[in-house]
């Protein structure tokens, strides 16, 4: 996993600008992810990469397109000190794992990491360090393992 770092207050318009919201297709959205703030992101990101950010990641509008663009780009997980509430719920609901951990100053862009979601441990393989985080509740982990809320419902015995 390779790291992409972003600062604080990264809003949904930075993640996917409004003029690209003409589709819900994750791959098409990914082609424009961070186009105005990090134009190299869309062509440089690789499946399994991780975003590390400071506070309030995903603030701004409630557009579900933002986490969908990150999934389409192959982002494995976003780690931030805090997330905007609606971005957090949208991400979990569509299957994008998020970790709340204050590691912005400890993980550098380009570091290689390993994440043990169930154990609440981030291993920085580059620096031989470990950072702890509070794992998501079991139900949210099941949503993520299913690929999001809709897949979870489809796979369960839930009948409306």
Tell me, what's the pLDDT at 160? 55
Tell me, what's the pLDDT at 109? 93
Does position 138 have pLDDT exceeding 70, yes or no? yes
Q: Is 126 part of a structural domain of the chain?
A: yes
Domain, as residue range, for 127 = 3-155
Does position 1 have pLDDT exceeding 80, yes or no? no
Q: Is 14 part of a structural domain of the chain?
A: yes
Give the SS3 label for residue 66. Answer: helix
Work out the average pLDDT over 77-95: 96
List of long-range contacts for 104-108, beta carbons under 8 Å, 24+ apart: 104/5, 104/52, 104/53, 104/54, 104/80, 106/131, 107/3, 107/5, 107/52, 107/79, 107/131, 108/3, 108/5
Contact 113, 122 (CB under 8 A): yes
DSSP 126: T
CATH code of the domain containing 111: 3.20.19.10
Q: Is 160 part of a structural domain of the chain?
A: no
> Predicted confidence band at 151 (pLDDT cuts at 50, 70, 90)?
confident
- Map tokens 């897949």 to a residue: 151
Q: Is 63 part of a structural domain of the chain?
A: yes
Q: Is 105 part of a structural domain of the chain?
A: yes
How many structural domains does the chain have?
A: 1
- β-pair partners for 61: none
Distances (CA, A) of 87 to 48, 60, 61, 68: 20, 9, 9, 11
Q: Is 53 part of a structural domain of the chain?
A: yes
pLDDT tens-place string over residues 18-55: 999 999 899 999 999 999 999 999 999 999 999 999 99
Contact 124, 79 (CB under 8 A): no
**Summary mean pLDDT of the chain:** 93
- Higher pLDDT residue, 62 or 105? 105
Q: Is 54 part of a structural domain of the chain?
A: yes
Contact 30, 75 (CB under 8 A): no
Tell me, what's the pLDDT at 146? 86
């Amino acid at each position: 996993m390779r790291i992409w770092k972003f600062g604080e207050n990264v809003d949904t318009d930075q993640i996917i600008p409004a003029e690209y919201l003409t589709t819900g297709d994750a791959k098409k959205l990914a082609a424009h992810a961070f186009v105005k703030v990090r134009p190299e992101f869309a062509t440089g990101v690789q499946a399994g990469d991780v975003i590390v950010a400071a506070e309030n990641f995903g603030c701004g509008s409630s557009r579900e397109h933002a986490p969908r663009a990150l999934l389409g780009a192959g982002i494995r997980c976003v780690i931030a000190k805090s997330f905007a509430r609606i971005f957090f719920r949208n991400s979990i609901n569509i299957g994008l794992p998020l970790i709340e951990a204050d590691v912005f100053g400890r993980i550098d862009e380009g570091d290689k990491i390993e994440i043990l979601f169930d154990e609440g441990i981030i291993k920085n393989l580059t620096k031989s360090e470990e950072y702890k985080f509070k794992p998501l509740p079991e139900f949210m982990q099941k949503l993520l393992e299913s690929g999001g809320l809709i897949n979870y419902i489809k796979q369960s015995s839930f009948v409306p």
